[in-house]
Structure formats: C-alpha cells, structure tokens
Amino acid sequence: MKKSFLYVAVLALCATAFVSCEPNTQMTDGTKVWPAFNSDGKCGYINIKGTFVVPCIYDEAQLFSSGLGRVLKVKEGTTDFTYSFINAKGDTKITIPSNAEVNPFCEDMSLGQMTEGSNWGFRDPSGKLAIAAIYENVNDFSNGAAIFVNSDGKYGAIDKSGKIIVQAQWDRLADFSCELARYRTGKAGDYKYGFIDKTGKIAIDASFPTWDMVWSFSENLAPFASGTKEGFIDKKGNVAIQPLYDWVGYFSEGLAPVKLNDKWGYIDTKGNMKIQTMYDDCFDFWEGLAFVRSGSTCSVIDKKGNVKISLGDYEPVTGFFHNGLTLIAKEDITGKTEFKYINTKNETIYSVFVDGLFGLKAPQKVINKQEKKDKKLMKHTYTLGKTITVK
C-alpha cells in the first residue's frame, strides 16, 4: 500500500489498517529527544533545552522506542518514500527498502514489509529479521503476543519467536492486555464478547451475563456496558465497579475518566470519585498529569485535581506529557500556527511558526475524543510531519 502524504494536520487515536499497539505496551522509551519541525515543515529532534540534536532533514519523525526513532524521507517531486531508524545522535541504524511500510518498535519488535508491497514480518532493534514476512494481516506486539489473521479470516496469536500460541480459530481477537485478549463470537447484531488467555483457553466466557458490551483490560480492569450505563469488571468477569456512569474510559496511572450528567471527572480502581465530574472534557493521566477542558479553556491538572497549567489560547496537540514535555499549538491573527513544546512548569522549550503553505493548523478542541461509539486505547506516541498523528 502506498503511503498517503496529506498536507493537513490530523489528530487520531486509532492506528491505520489492522495495525495497533495497546496500552501496557512498550511503544516509547526514556530517550530524551523529541520530534520537532522547523518553519519549512521539515522534521528533526530537539533535546530538553530545545536545541536540535538531529537536524531537520526528514519529512516525518516519530517518538523514540527501543532506543530508535522512525523517520521518513520523501523523494522530491514524487510519492516515493524511504523509512529508516536513527539513534539519538542522528546516526542511521536501520534503512528500510524504498516504498516499504514499517511501524515503530513495540516491545522491541518492529512490524513491517521487507520490500514494497510484500507481506508483513518483524525486525528486531538490530534490523535483523526476527519473524518471517508471511503475514498479510498482523498486529504489533502487545503484552508479549501479536494477533494475526489467516487466509480464512480467523484470528490467532504468535509469540516473539514466531510460534503460534493461540490457534487461528477465532472470529475476532483484540490485542492482549493484562494477559487477556477479548474475543468475539456470534452474528452481526447479536455479538457476544469474552476473553482468552495466552494459551487460547477461555478465561471469561462470552455467555457471561454481566454485560451487553465489554472492552479490553487496562490495569486489570475492563470497561463494560449494561444498558445505557457503564462500569468495570475484573479479570474473573466479576463486577468491580458498578455501571453508574454514562461513559467510562480506561484506567491509566490508577485513574479512569468517567462521564456523568454531561460532565467529566476521575475515579480510582475502587470506584471512589477522586476528581469530581466538573469538566467538559478530560483525558488520560500520563506522567502524573492530565489535560482537561472547561468551556473554551484547556488546563493541565494533577491527580488531586489541582490546576498546574492553564493553556489559555493554546490547544493540546499530543494530549499528554512525554518525558516531561508536551506539544501545544494556536493559530494567530495572520493565519500562522505556532507549535511549541512546554515542560511541566509551563516553560517554553521550543517554538516555531508555520504558515499556511504547509497546511498545518492548530487543532480545534482536540480533547473531546471521549465521545465516540467505541473505545480506543491511548498509545501515548505520536508522529510529526506534514501529517500529525497521535495514537
């Protein structure tokens, strides 16, 4: 599949195609460099002081994982592209064949094509082929396993040696999280959901009568819906938090966003309301902080609900802090967009203005993502370029 180079700013929580990376998955690391672009729209990496340590020579740059950053170059005047992986000094460590797709590393495995248009396999951080490219549809590794789909459309799972650990006999499997993967059975309009373990054994049967719908586990609790209300189950399928809320998110750092009477707050894993439902929107906690919205103003709060940063006219771009920095943006009266990294003290680390030539605009109310039919798990990674993608 050819890569599409959009000249717009995009913020998305879901991965493209069949590929995703679930929570509790090592998709980023502690490498303290951050992707950033210059006023010409080219990408490089900055350090904690806002100084470029990798020059802006790329068309796309991703957060580091497994000590490597995925970068992209597009051949001028064409749609031909080449991915590579670099270290924090900018040295190229892995070069991917031209026009072959590749994902960032998840749990030290990178899902990708070996040549343009080929099937998918996995590379290790040295660039060596770890699992042969024999899969037409396969996910990134999550919780030590990767979900694949065989030619009959059945789902199974492999481990990091490529060994099949769950036979391809399931109508649908979500990625493993907290050692369990959600499976689906039944026909459209009457689907049932349960969970299997990494041997393929049913851990929670789909006939369990507790829920009308259930989602994947995060921090050993899974959201479920009963009628119009939502709560959480534990790994035995028992109700851990009663379905009292209009909408619930996933637990992250011990807190989950919940919606009640059109306002958002946070509960802990015991179901205690830790931050009252007072916000118009809210987001996951990450590195002890979360973005919230009240009216037209976004803020950053701590786990006690204290406002640590008020963003004023700025909107969050990434929606979370990574190694102490987050990216925010606003559009000025001339139509230019300012993108800047700030730290947890609201100090500007790096700032750049981009004009309309590159089509990059400040996101509008980007943290109202909780309003959607299905729940997508935040991946806490992002790619900067002519297309900005947050997962």
* Domain membership flag for residue 331: yes
Statement: residue 72 has pLDDT above 60: yes
CA angle, 260 as apex, 377 and 317 as ends, to 5°?
A: 40
State how beta strands 192-196 and 43-46 pair: unpaired
Answer whether residue 208 shows pLDDT above 60: yes
Listing DSSP states for 160-201 in one string gives TTS-EEEEEEESEEPPPBTTBEEEEES-TTS-EEEEE-TTS-
pLDDT per position as a tens digit, 349-388:
999 998 755 555 556 544 444 444 467 777 788 888 877 8
Residue 356: strand, helix, or coil: helix
Residue pLDDT, tens place only, 35-55 = 999 998 899 999 999 999 999
What is the domain extent for residue 301?
216-380
Torsions phi, psi for 116 (to 5 deg): -60, 125
Read off the pTM: 0.89
On whether the CB atoms of residues 271 and 300 are closer than 8 A, the answer is no
Q: Give the C-alpha separation, 74 to 97, whole Å.
A: 13
Mean pLDDT of 60-77: 96
- Read off the DSSP letter of residue 357: G
Is residue 198 a part of any domain in this protein?
no
Nearest CA to 37 out of 25, 27, 46 is that of 46
Beta bridge mates, 225: 213, 230
Instruction: Look at residues 283, 284, 337 and name the one whose alpha carbon lies nearest to residue 313.
Output: 337
8 Å CB contact between 138 and 156: no
| Domain assignment present for 146 | no
Is residue 375 one of the residues assigned to a domain?
yes
Q: Which residue has the higher pLDDT, 147 or 333?
A: 147
The predicted structure's pLDDT at residue 27: 67
pLDDT tens per residue, range 1-19: 333 332 233 333 322 223 3
Across the chain, mean pLDDT equals: 89
> In this predicted model, what pLDDT tens digit does every residue of 111-134 receive, in sequence order?
999 999 999 999 999 999 999 999
Task: Assess whether pLDDT exceeds 90 at residue 103.
Answer: yes
pLDDT for the residue 340: 96
In a domain, 322, yes or no: yes
Residue 243 is assigned to a structural domain of this protein: yes
Domain membership flag for residue 254: yes
| Integer Cα distance of 314 and 346 in angstroms | 12
Residue 234 inside a domain? The answer is: yes
pLDDT at 333: 83
pLDDT above 50 (res 271): yes
Contacts with 63 (C-beta within 8 Å, 6 or more apart), sequence order: 28, 34, 35, 69, 104, 322, 381, 382, 383
Place of tokens 């009266």: 333
Q: Distance between CA 42 and CA 177 in Å, rounded?
A: 36
The residue with greater pLDDT, 367 or 281, is 281
What is the domain count for the chain? 1
Helix (H) or strand (E) holding 245: strand 239-245
CA 299 to chain CA centroid, nearest Å: 21
Give backbone dihedrals phi and psi of 387, rounded to 5 degrees, phi first. -115, 125
Per cent of the chain over pLDDT 90 is 78
pLDDT at 380 (0 to 100): 82
Q: How confident is the model at residue 335 (pLDDT cuts 50, 70, 90)?
A: confident
The pLDDT score that the predictor gives to residue 275 is 99
Rounded Cα gap, residues 30 and 67, in angstroms: 8
